[in-house]
Homo-oligomer: A and B are copies of this chain.
Amino acid sequence: MGDEGRRRGPWTTVERERLYRNPWGALERHAVIRPDGSTGEHLFVDLPPAVGVLAVDGRDVLLVRQPRYGIGREVLEIVKGGRHDGEAPDAAARRELREEAGIDAKRLLPLGERVALPSITNERATLYAATGLKEIDVEPDHAEAIEVVRMPLDQALDQALEGGIEDADTVVALTRYAFAIGILRIE
Contact = CB atoms under 8 A, between A and B. Distances in A.
Contacts of A70: 42, 44-45, 117-123
B71 A166 contact: no
A38 B117 contact: no
Interface in A25-67: 25-30, 32, 34-36, 38, 40-45, 47, 67
Contacts of A40: 143
B67 A114 contact: no
Given A45-B120, A120-B45, A168 B114 contact: yes
Copies of this protein in the assembly total 2
A161 B143 contact: no
Interface in A151-165: 154, 157-158, 160-163
A176 interface: yes
Given A24-B119, A71-B124, A163-B176, 6 more contacts: A42-B69, A45-B45, A71-B122, A75-B115, A118-B167, A161-B179
